[in-house]
Amino acid sequence: MEIKGVIFDLDGVLCSTDRFHFAAWQSLAQQLSIPFTEADNRRMRGVSRMESLGILLEKADRAFSPAERASLASAKNDRYRALLAGLSPADLSEDTKQALATLRAMGLKLAVGSSSRNARFILDRLGLADFFDAVADGTEIARSKPDPEVFLLAARKLALPPARCLVVEDASAGISAAVAGGFAAAGISTAKDDERAVFHLANLSDLAALLARG
């Protein structure tokens, strides 16, 4: 397996904005008098905003029209972006910084493949806006993970075939997307033990050593 490019999911891999998602969804849930737990929040990991809203509204005592759902999703995103404004380069771990620098020094092409429509905003806040060779995000795709569209787009932007790219993911939906698109996958965090992954990472710094071995 000759890897020429690495495509990273953003949230949960390069950084963690889970606390901001939870706070924003919890605020909306309280507004609607719907219970919302950490377990509900974990179910939303790796899926689109509208799918996440559907998870929250499973506990609602009434149905919501498409227009109402769109308004609720927009309100959640406004709250989330307000919280994201507090992100800074200090939120990027030393392990992540070192791993990215090492992979770059190895001559690999690097990309972000995220279903989030806020990916570029997050990268900017982290000081990574100009670091990656390509960014594919939720503003450019019609289908979110587990569909492979975002990873296929990232690979095209890198001018590499899926077979020459490794996807790094922390969610089952992301591993599914990688496999469906013909990519090798590395699992980290909650996806570390996914049997479909070819690499199982305790942290990102493990990745360079594994790729160096070929």
CA 190 vs CA 3, 169, 171, 202: distances in Å = 23, 9, 6, 10
Cα–chain center distance at 140:
14
Q: What distance in Å separates the CA atoms of residue 85 and residue 122, rounded to the nearest whole number?
A: 9
Q: What distance in Å separates the CA atoms of residue 61 and residue 29, rounded to the nearest whole number?
A: 12
**Stretch (H or E) spanning 6:** strand 5-8
Q: What distance in Å separates the CA atoms of residue 152 and residue 156, rounded to the nearest whole number?
A: 6
Cα angle value 157/214/6 (rounded, 5°): 20
Q: What tokens does 90 get?
A: 């200090």
Catalytic residue among 9, 137, 147, 194: 9
130 is catalytic: no
Q: Active-site residue numbers?
A: 9, 11
